[in-house]
Amino acid sequence: DAGITQSPRHKVTETGTPVTLRCHQTENHRYMYWYRQDPGHGLRLIHYSYGVKDTDKGEVSDGYSVSRSKTEDFLLTLESATSSQTSVYFCAISELDTGELFFGEGSRLTVL
Partner 1 sequence: GENVEQHPSTLSVQEGDSAVIKCTYSDSASNYFPWYKQELGKRPQLIIDIRSNVGEKKDQRIAVTLNKTAKHFSLHITETQPEDSAVYFCAASKKRSGSSNTGKLIFGQGTTLQVKP
Q: Does 90 bind partner 1 (CB under 8 A)?
A: yes
- In the list 45, 67, 77, 86, the residue contacting partner 1 (rule: CB under 8 A) is 45
Q: What is the per-residue DSSP string for 11-67? A: EEE-TT--EEEEEEESS--SEEEEEEEETTTEEEEEEEEEETTEEEE-TT-TTEEEE
Is 94:31 a contact under the CB 8 Å cutoff?
A: yes
42's CB contacts (< 8 A; 6+ apart) are none
Determine which helix (DSSP H) or strand (DSSP E) holds 104, and give its type and residue range.
Answer: none
| Residue 62 binds to partner 1 (criterion: CB under 8 A) | no
- 19 vs 91, which CB is nearer to partner 1? 91
89 contacts partner 1 (rule: CB under 8 A): no
Q: Does 58 bind partner 1 (CB under 8 A)?
A: yes
Piece in contact with partner 1 (CB under 8 A), picked from 8-16, 18-26, 60-68, 93-101: 93-101
Contact footprint for partner 1 (CB under 8 A): 31, 33, 35, 40-45, 48, 50, 58-59, 90, 92, 94, 96-101, 103-106
